[in-house]
Amino acid sequence: DAVHEEQEPTAETYRGEVSASGKERLSHLKQVATEALKKQGYDESNIVVEEYLNMRYEGTDNAIMIPKSPNSSFEEDFLALYQREFGFVLQNRDILIDDYRVRAVVPGETLKTPPTPEKLGVPTASLGTTRAYFENGWQEVLAYKVEDLQPGHNIPGPAIIVQPISTVVLEVGCEAFVTANGDLKIEIGKVDNVDHTNDTVKEVKEDPVQ
């Protein structure tokens, strides 16, 4: 998205709606923000402008930026957000406006989710095998070069995938999938899947010197 924001400070008390002078200031800010995007080459028909009031209770420092809503007033949204943030609202206390703000946006194209690649199964381990230490001890594991993987491949752990600047270690019970974009999606296995039958715990003895 292309975005341009404009904001001006003020010191007003909110009286159930934006004052006449406040509406004029918001209108001016909207014009300035819209013109800024038009200068960048965007068509005015594609520009969406959002209005905000920065509001707080009199005598407090906790200001909240409230966007304009078609279904509720600024005050209603302020009270709802204040209740959610702090767990209470203040009675018989004026609500102040600290800033007027607008946000002009040119929405970008919605990215399409790439299709799920055809399943290719487990590939050949191009780097053979190597020994690696996991939670349940030393194991002989398959090793892959990431360049040799294709969308649709899946690699069950434990395994090692070597990338140009890093190495991915797949733990026991985990599995990696190569997405349509060539990224690695790793699903974390449950701890219950790990075999601890061969684990041993050595007795810890106190050191009399300490």
Q: Is 22 helix (H, G, I), strand (E, B) or coil?
A: helix
On the question of pLDDT at 192 being above 90, the answer is no
pLDDT bucket at 111, cuts 50 / 70 / 90: low
- d(CA 70, CA 72) in angstroms, rounded, equals 6
Contact 80, 131 (CB under 8 A): no
Q: How far apart are CA 118 and CA 151, in angstroms?
A: 8
- Residues 184 and 168 sit within 8 Å (Cβ to Cβ): yes
- Cα 180 off chain centre by: 22
pLDDT of 133 over the 80 cut:
yes
Give the residue among 97, 102, 74, 94 at the shortest CA–CA distance from 11.
97
94 - beta bridge partners? none
Reported confidence tier of residue 134, pLDDT bands at 50, 70, 90: confident
Phi, psi of 30 (to 5 degrees): -60, -40
Whole-model pTM: value is 0.54
Range with the lowest mean pLDDT among 18-27, 66-75, 110-119?
A: 110-119
